[in-house]
Chain A
Amino acid sequence: MEIGLNHYLVLSTILFAIGLVGVMRRKNLLLLFFATEILLNAVNIAFAAISHYYGDMTGQMFAFFIIAVAASEVAVGLGLLIVWYKRHGSIDLDVLTTMKG
């Protein structure tokens, strides 16, 4: 049984879906951020796979930049969380509902 590109894509999609589930059901902001990491990692697998099967470096490049982006996001995201936590003592997102309508 040959492992083809489609296998990777399916895997990637499944992981992405798991990430989406996490994004939707997580109420703790920190855990929510975990889910966003899953999303990006799912995409990374696919990029690497495509790159491999096409023999093209661009995919790896994209994956590389995605990792960079993910890392940056963590820094900013955590920064925001820390400030929020300092003020409110909670990172439950149900608290963030002062604005609506």
Chain B
Amino acid sequence: MFEAVAFYLFAFLTITMFIITVTTSQALYALTALAAGMIFISAFFFILGADFLGAIQIIVYTGAVMALYAFGMMFFDTTRSVKEKQGNKFIITGLSTLAAVLVVLIVGAPMVSNNIVALYPTIDGMGNVQNVGLILFTKYLVPFELAAVMLLVAMVAGIVLAGKKMDRSITLTNDAELEIEKNKKVLS
């Protein structure tokens, strides 16, 4: 019963938050709503017993991603309300069709899930974090390492794009100027 109440409560909250996110014209509202939604989602993870995931969700999303977005927002000066031209009503029809189709589909056709054999079963008696750790460093070692590479790529990319003077073009600067600049760098 508790589970049901919690589910519906958080479901309502997340849906509301995300609707606000996608509809509001105030960027700040959107950001806040998104952050709230993220946190509410982590609640589901806790309900479902995925504690580790819940923690990650809060740390990564609310801690890192949202902070990044907040910086970004300050940079872009989008604190005032965002004006968005909407082309036509196509979007409304499109989206309603989509929603209708999807909901009908999910509700109307319950999944046959009785014969699923868990390939990597949760080991009883171990905490979620332990379970995660066990599987992450055996089976999913390679994806994990690759994820590390991915983050490195993202970092390098972020640095290159945002930090390395991409606002001017070396292509178009002539050689002499470039030479001067180089020397300056060495000197400084």
A60 lies within 8 A of B98 (CB): no
Q: When A60-B132, A65-B147 are in contact, do A19 and B75 touch as well, CB less than 8 Å?
A: no
Q: When A26-B84, A45-B41, A67-B61 are in contact, do A1 and B157 touch as well, CB less than 8 Å?
A: no
Interface size on A, as a range, is 35 or more
B7 lies within 8 A of A86 (CB): no
CB distance from A94 to the nearest CB of B (A): 7
CB distance from B150 to the nearest CB of A (A): 5
- The number of residues on chain B lying at the interface, defined by a beta carbon within 8 Å of a beta carbon of chain A, is 82
A10 to B82 alpha-carbon distance, docked (Å): 31
The residues of B that contact A51 with a CB separation of less than 8 Å are: 48, 50
**B178 in contact (CB, < 8 A):** no
The residues of A that contact B147 with a CB separation of less than 8 Å are: 65, 68-69
Q: Determine the main DSSP class of A at the interface with B.
A: helix
* Chain B 10-65 interface residues, beta-carbon cutoff 8 Å to A: 11, 14-15, 18-19, 21-22, 27, 30-31, 34, 37-38, 41, 44-45, 48-50, 52-53, 56-57, 60-61, 64-65
Q: When A72-B154, A76-B161 are in contact, do A28 and B22 touch as well, CB less than 8 Å?
A: no
A55 to B135 alpha-carbon distance, docked (Å): 13
CB distance from A60 to the nearest CB of B (A): 5
The residues of A that contact B52 with a CB separation of less than 8 Å are: 60, 64
A65 to B151 alpha-carbon distance, docked (Å): 11
A76 lies within 8 A of B158 (CB): yes
Q: Which residues of A contact B (CB under 8 A)?
A: 1-3, 5-11, 13-22, 24-28, 30-31, 33-35, 37-38, 41, 44-45, 48-49, 51-58, 60-61, 63-65, 67-76, 78-83, 85-87, 91, 94
